[in-house]
Copies of this chain bind each other. A is one copy, B any other.
Amino acid sequence: MFNWLAGEMSVTPPAHVAILGLGLIGSSLLRRLVALGTAVTGYDADPSTLELAALEAPVAGSIADAVAGADLVVLAVPLPVAGAVLDEVQAAGYTGLLTDVTSVKAAPRRLAAQHCPGARWVGGHPMAGREQSGFAAGDATLFDGCAWVLTLEPDTGVADWLRLASLVAGIGARAVPATADEHDTAVARISHAPHVVAAALAARAAEGEAGSLALALGAGSFRDGTRVAATRPALTAAMCGGNAAALRTELDTLIDQLTAARGLLDDLDALADWFAPGHIVRAGWPPEPGPAKERPATREELLALGRAGGWVTAVAADGQSVTTVVPESP
């Protein structure tokens, strides 16, 4: 039935994965792939990280050695050094699938086109942060059930997207199709703005003579509302600065919302009405997953799936269809 691309669409998951950068995300993926028995090679610019990694998995001493023989390269370095690493991948003559795990998607897409045009780019972002970072914080179970965005642009091959989706679904994550711009708008809302707010609330709590008492009284709303402020400032800054345009819109919106709430503090009914939409959203989140459903594996179907809040859980071997889940409406 879905055979309009038969012949060019058979999906073979990546057979040999190179992971460049073994921080929290890279080392978690390394551990997960080792546990699954997938051929994988790790690389990190830091010799002591590489030494630790060698105790758990095959590693290479250079980027060129790491990508030799790989049919998927995962760029798992901070955005500020991504361009330099991509130059080395290009210099090594790599021409296979290339993805990343960065928390923004438009910026690395531009970098890949500029620094590593020989490879086939599909941007990636597992929504699985943690306030600890580094190799030691990695965990093979980090991606269980997490949303893992894979970008699908007009110039992305659907077969390439499906290959990566097959890997992502195979490690137990939810492969979410989205354009880089759709992703960046979404994460500015649900991750970057919350990071800015968390830092502001934490810094303010401690200020001046009232600070010690305030910190002593901090309970659930402070603990949870500021948790991500414990992340290293350089990482948070790279993430937020890498998505400046979308985040600027969110901060403007947030300032408007706070200004509106500020004007209602003396009117309890109006203030309760102001709190209602957030209550409805959060009380219904996360929604229940709906039943699994087969869909044709076309660009349009996949992008519509992502916009509906859905994800891919399996890819048919012939590349003609995907198994998908969409959240139940509350």
Contacts and interface: CB of A to CB of B under 8 A. Distances in A.
Interface of A: 80, 127-130, 146-147, 149, 174, 176, 178, 182-183, 185-187, 189-191, 193-206, 209-210, 212-222, 224-234, 236-238, 240-241, 244, 247-248, 250-255, 257-259, 261-262, 265-269, 271-279, 281-283, 285-287, 306-311, 327
A245 to B, nearest CB: 8
Contacts of A258: 196-197, 200, 251, 254-255, 258
A244 B193 CA distance: 24
A224 B221 contact: no
B205 A189 contact: yes
Nearest to A308: B212
A221 B278 contact: no
Given A194-B221, A271-B240, A281 B233 contact: no
A217 B278 contact: no
Nearest to A179: B213
A311 B212 CA distance: 12
A215 B306 CA distance: 11
Contacts of A259: 251, 255
